[in-house]
């Protein structure tokens, strides 16, 4: 298997940069005329996965919306992961895990060891117990040709109190970006360790060129636009995965393919 960065680069070239979130909010289940229960979750998730995974580079389920249904919800998540990977999409599981020592290793084994029933291509992770706490995830990702996307500059209003805090090396976010740049040094055509940078952040003087991918949540319904992506990322936008869930899913299953194709075509124009 090639590295996650190489697989992602090829997938984006072939299918476009759109990252499709499959987040079964209760309101979305109702919008699809489904009950907010395990049966509704299963119908929603698998229908969305079957429709989207054949046409987008990356599918991103948010684990919490499956976990809320207990073991049955996790079983649906396992089926969704298999469905999407079998259709050729890379699966980025949004779990935002962050812990230390053996617990961090256990999370890495759960999601990045390809023998696990929950194995995916990449996960999201939080560095706020210190970037070094992610070492088990980084090492396991390298071993299994997987990827890790690390929270750097999120667009929630509470984020700056930590991410923009000053250290002797700059801001906390700058430190995270520096560590990712180090991990990706020399990788071609793209590193496997990405940053999470919101599509609605104000911007600033941060160096976002990490020789790796950038996940940009907040595109679409949450307010992020193509113009925001150009403003925030500049020439580096070619390595950005704009992510949206509600923009894709809110109009129901009949328009999923049409909406995904339209959004992807718009985003392809970023590098034209």
Which of the residues are catalytic? 96
Helix (H) or strand (E) holding 57: none
CA 180/CA 149 separation, integer angstroms: 9
CB atoms within 10 A of CB 168: 5
CA 26/CA 9 separation, integer angstroms: 34
Chain center to CA of 255: 23
Paired residues of 217 in beta bridges: 243
CB atoms within 10 A of CB 202: 11
Could you tell me which of 218, 216, 214 has the C-alpha nearest to residue 184? 214
CA 237/CA 231 separation, integer angstroms: 9
Structural tokens at position 209: 């060129």
Instruction: Find out whether 15 and 264 touch, Cβ atoms under 8 Å.
Output: yes
DSSP-derived secondary structure letter, 127: -
CB atoms within 10 A of CB 169: 9
Could you tell me which of 107, 127, 126, 131 has the C-alpha nearest to residue 118? 107
């Amino acid at each position: 298997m090639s590295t996650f960065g190489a697989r992602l680069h090829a997938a984006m070239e072939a299918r476009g940069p759109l990252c499709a979130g499959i987040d079964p909010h209760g309101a979305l289940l109702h919008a699809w005329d489904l009950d907010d229960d395990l049966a509704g979750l299963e119908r929603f998730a698998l229908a969305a996965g079957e429709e989207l995974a054949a046409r987008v580079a990356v599918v991103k389920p948010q684990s919490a919306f499956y976990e809320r249904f207990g073991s049955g919800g996790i079983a649906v998540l396992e089926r969704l992961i298999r469905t999407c990977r079998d259709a050729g999409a890379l699966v980025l599981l949004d779990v935002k895990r962050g812990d230390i020592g053996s617990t961090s290793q256990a999370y890495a084994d759960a999601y990045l060891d390809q023998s696990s029933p929950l194995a995916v291509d990449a996960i999201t992770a939080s560095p706020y117990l210190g970037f070094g706490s992610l070492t088990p995830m980084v090492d396991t990702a390298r071993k299994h040709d997987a990827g890790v996307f690390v929270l750097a500059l999120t667009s929630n209003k509470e984020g700056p109190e930590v991410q923009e805090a000053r250290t002797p090396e700059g801001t906390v976010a700058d430190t995270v970006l520096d560590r990712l740049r180090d991990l990706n040094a020399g990788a071609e055509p793209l590193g496997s360790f990405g940053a999470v940078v919101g599509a609605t952040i104000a911007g600033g003087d941060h160096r976002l060129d990490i020789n790796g991918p950038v996940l940009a949540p907040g595109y679409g319904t949450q307010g992020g636009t193509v113009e925001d992506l150009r403003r925030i990322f500049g020439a580096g936008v070619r390595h950005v995965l704009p992510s949206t869930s509600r923009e894709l899913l809110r109009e129901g299953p009949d328009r999923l393919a049409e909406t995904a194709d339209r959004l992807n075509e718009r985003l392809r124009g970023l590098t034209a």
